[in-house]
Amino acid sequence: MRIIIIGGVAAGTSAAAKAKRENSDSEIILFEKGKDISYAGCGLPYYISGITSRDQIVINTPEEFQKKYNIEVKTSHKVTKILPDSKQIIYENQKKSNKIKYDKLIIATGASPIIPPIPGINLNHILPLRTLKNAVNIKNIIENKNPQNITIVGAGLIGLEMAEAFYELNLNITIIEKMSQVLPTFSRDMAQIVKNHLLDKNIDLYLNEEVTEFVGDKNNNLKSVKTKSGKNIDSDLTLISTGIKPNTDLASQAGVKTGNSGAVAVNEKMETSIPDIFAAGDCAQSTNLITNKPVWFPLGSTANKQGRIAGENAAGGSNNHKGILKTAITKIFDLTVAKTGISVEEAEKNEIDPVTTKITAANHAGYYPELEKINLKGVFNKDNGEIIGAEIIGKDGVDKRIDVLSTAIYSKLTAHDLFQVDLAYAPPYSSPKDPAAILGMVTSKKL
Amino acid sequence: MRIIIIGGVAAGTSAAAKAKRENSDSEIILFEKGKDISYAGCGLPYYISGITSRDQIVINTPEEFQKKYNIEVKTSHKVTKILPDSKQIIYENQKKSNKIKYDKLIIATGASPIIPPIPGINLNHILPLRTLKNAVNIKNIIENKNPQNITIVGAGLIGLEMAEAFYELNLNITIIEKMSQVLPTFSRDMAQIVKNHLLDKNIDLYLNEEVTEFVGDKNNNLKSVKTKSGKNIDSDLTLISTGIKPNTDLASQAGVKTGNSGAVAVNEKMETSIPDIFAAGDCAQSTNLITNKPVWFPLGSTANKQGRIAGENAAGGSNNHKGILKTAITKIFDLTVAKTGISVEEAEKNEIDPVTTKITAANHAGYYPELEKINLKGVFNKDNGEIIGAEIIGKDGVDKRIDVLSTAIYSKLTAHDLFQVDLAYAPPYSSPKDPAAILGMVTSKKL
């Protein structure tokens, strides 16, 4: 049995490794159009800031991966077509085209940055951050071109993570965001906390603002950024972080169905609409565990799980991925910013009557050193009291509470349950009433 | 309506405050035999080590509490008898005895240290640590008597927390434990990690050892500790941390039923066997959420919850406390040591076929600074795959995983569910596969 995997980052390598473990007799071939595989995409900002190295970000080189898992790795091999009827793929390498048959195919083609069609976008020193190659390019520019003024277009998670990275490198940072708040998926009042923190760090932040033109010098190097409101901001380097889109051209051409999100539609087994073709990772949809509707929310942790499931099932096993809560967390300077589940607006769209509770609670006992306040907003279903969403912003202890609440949402716990759960208490770690319990208690009164 | 509460620490003050909020017309009287109320018992080691102050440990003085909640607080008032037939209590103050009627009574009499009947136990400078008064006494001895050599009898949670406190004060510490391991409620291999850490800190640790005599000087001050194996250990101060027992004399004399544990038997509403009498906190039992059997496991977080429920119900409300998982956490020098649910032995006693999985996993992404290994042991029910217990020892990130697993056990999640839960991933906080997910994955293969 031959299993072919297209794409060699998180989902692709997870799928390959798991398929081989599931069925050691199978032949596994991994096609990757780029030169790198198996690198930690989420670690790229930390590579750029110098917190970690390229070698540490690359979990396995192609050679290491091939040897470690006994999998054939074909880098710089671009798959150009899937032929489902004859169960073949066509690929290109060094300008030569070839065909190969598969028994099972896993599409793990990932996602690509959305590059807005702004005049001057093709100037030098305007880059997204998606691939290791992007990161190496950004780092090279910083090391060799001595940029001083950085503009970040888009104040989502990647944009703000990169603001921290550039800040660590002592660069002047301007952030331009089209929406009226940073982190557009967060509630306005919660996003305000992050905004104030960015201003405390002397970041120039422009909301309700758009780039209208990138201006270059005679060498086609970026010089400044012009905006809708008439600003002309000196800029030696611009990061484009305005979102990503799933890479579905190959799948679509082959007749594999995509969902409303544009990503490949899959079932719990990661099977697509065409037999023997699976999809996993950033190119594929998942299921929203609260609404039970398809959702596209590409993240490394989900890519790992989906890849693993796809690999196991392709190799003859049987496993499933139930879905996601769109749980996300990020470090933005000194803050930890996290979200899970659905928002009030999403609840209303799905005909759920939402109740929200906002509290501020201590990370641990008040008399223990390094006391920090945690800002916590929970969304509950008024009909049955179940928690369906949460946003948490603060310092120490935020990551703990988002994981407790993610587990609670997965488990369909109610506000009353949050009070009941026997969370661990000792002064360095929590208070006798943990923030999650307080959230439940306060909400219970409203239900 | 008059609600009388006996005992003014965690459960008693929680009950009083909640009863008043539930029914502001009720008259609430709190009787406390000591001088202090409303102090953080779990903070006492940190008060002794100097990390925090007496004022910070005392959440409310009697006067503050009285004023803040409009509750009558009677300190130095010892309740000597409960008369359920006439719904009265008898109390003593300044050697005078009085009676008062109650409509509802809440017993929150707490627990007391078990003082082993060892020759010399009544010498000066041999103390338990249970009350604020105990802590003040220990601190006074340290400040005024200049002790150098400290012996701790009993290597449970309090004994080891106090080892850290004494260590912070640059004292020489010997720990004597009767059992063959520290932390007798933990698995042997997990306890070994803590033992090695204590040895790294140059603590003299004697396991399988017992004190046979406390030797005093001519002023009746402790001088040394003799042991079963023939040692005579110089000792200026000894902490007795050999366990506690529930204070049930008052309840028992009144005919209130106690359970097998010796603590007061209560239902979910914190009602005792006698109408209009409630019990809460360290004197009362709870329900083990896994075995559904009564359990006595006194902790501040449970006392808070039970007190709150008792107060609410006594005042005419309706709430319940479902039970506990015996979740416990403590900081022992640089380690965080935590446990939730039941052990293999407890599972077997309850006719559950246990499967255990032990893993070592990273607290966060390998390339992010301050990488730490977390030791995690999970116990699962082989029949249905549900997680029923966990022990976790490590540094950063232990408290998060114990709370995720406590929530998972409460929710009856299976090993497969632990893989599915959408936990938050970013390099500073976790890995694409969180330790909890790895625990589930590894266990799934055995089921």
pLDDT digits (tens, 9 = 90+) for B148-204: 999 999 999 999 999 999 999 999 999 999 999 999 999 999 999 999 999 999 999
Residue-wise pLDDT for A132-145, tens only, equals 999 999 999 999 99
The letter for the amino acid at B6 is I
Give the number of other Cβ atoms within 10 Å of residue A315's Cβ. 23
Give dist(CA B156, CA B113) in Å, integer: 13
Nearest to B300 among A299, A403, A432 (CB): A432
Per-residue pLDDT for B237 more than 90? Answer: yes
CB-CB contact of B401 with B409 (8 Å): no
Per-residue pLDDT for A22 more than 90? Answer: yes
- Identify the residue whose tokens are 């010796």: B262
pLDDT at B208: 98
Give dist(CA A306, CA A317) in Å, integer: 14
Residue ranges of domains in chain A, CATH in brackets: 2-111+245-314 (3.50.50.60), 115-240 (3.50.50.60), 334-444 (3.50.50.60)
The letter for the amino acid at B17 is A
Give the number of other Cβ atoms within 10 Å of residue B94's Cβ. 6
Sort out which chain B residues have CB atoms less than 8 A from A424's CB and list them: 327-329, 338, 340, 399, 402-403, 406
Among residues A1, A42, A121, A215, the one annotated as catalytic is A42
Contact between chains at B338 and A40 (C-beta distance less than 8 A): no
Å from A214 to nearest chain B CA? 32
Give dist(CA A391, CA A395) in Å, integer: 13
User: Which region, left, alpha or beta, applies to residue A107 given φ > 0 means left and ψ of -120 to 50 means alpha?
Assistant: beta
Rounded to 5 degrees, φ, ψ at A195 are -55, -50
Q: Which residues have C-beta within 8 Å of that of residue B445, sequence separation ≥ 6?
A: none
Tokens of B5: 């509460």
Q: Which residues have C-beta within 8 Å of that of residue A327, sequence separation ≥ 6?
A: A301, A338, A339, A340, A341, A402, A406, B422, B423, B424, B425
pTM of the model: 0.97
Tokens of B71: 């509750």
Nearest to A432 among B10, B330, B369 (CB): B10
pLDDT at A59: 86
* Chain CA centroid to CA A113, Å: 12
Give dist(CA B23, CA B26) in Å, integer: 6
Average pLDDT over chain B, rounded to an integer: 97
Collapsing DSSP states into helix, strand and coil, what is residue B59?
A: coil
CA distances from B218 to A44, B123, B214, B215, B223 (A): 70, 11, 13, 10, 10
Write the secondary structure of A386-398 as one string of H (helix), E (strand) and C (coil). EEEEEEEEECCCH
Tokens of A344: 């009030």
5-24 in A: which are within 8 Å (CB) of B?
A: 10
CB-CB contact of A306 with B422 (8 Å): no
Residue-wise pLDDT for A86-133, tens only, equals 999 999 999 999 999 999 999 999 999 999 999 999 999 999 999 999
CB-CB contact of A247 with A263 (8 Å): no
Prediction ipTM score? 0.96
**Pairing relation of β-strands A104-107 and B88-93?**
unpaired
pLDDT at B59: 86
Contact between chains at B404 and A408 (C-beta distance less than 8 A): no
Per-residue pLDDT for B281 more than 90? Answer: yes
| B382 DSSP assignment | T
> Does an H or E element contain B107, and which?
strand B104-107
Tokens of A285: 């949809």
